[in-house]
Amino acid sequence: MLRFYCDALGCSVDKRVERLGLIHLRAGAALIDLVSVDGPLGRKGGAAPAAGGRNLDHFCLRIEPFDYAALRARFAPFGIELQPPGERFGAEGDGPSVYVEDPEGNTIELKGAASRGA
């Protein structure tokens, strides 16, 4: 998981809390918390995600600039193919975005700035 988030996605480890099974990752101004489902904190969250369901649809990271060709080139060495981009609504309005899955099947939306006039 760390290889995906740090090497492919470009995050950095901000802090580790080993006793909780928690890793804080820096993603620009945001933090992503990776929680081990078999650690003390993870066990409080219930069953691990499985084919029958999960507790998160996706999370979104705002990226700038949004360059689909550059994103494809960034993820290709990791064997990750991106879905085609689309124009989607988000916190700042309609803008380009693409979805990618981490190694455990969590979906991440990479979203560009809102389109002008949106």
For the chain, what's the residue count?
Answer: 118
Do residues 102 and 73 share a domain? yes
* pLDDT tens-digit map of 44-54: 877 777 766 67
Extract the runs of DSSP E, i.e. beta strands, from 40-92. Answer: 59-62, 86-90
The tally of CA atoms less than 13 A away on the side-chain side of residue 83 is: 13
Residue 47 lies in a domain: no
Write the CATH number for 83. 3.10.180.10
Tell me if 50 is assigned to some domain: no
Q: Are residues 26 and 61 in the same domain?
A: no
Mean residue pLDDT across the chain = 91
Predicted TM-score of the model (pTM): 0.88
- 8 A C-beta contact, residue 60 and residue 111: yes
| Domain span at 108 | 55-118
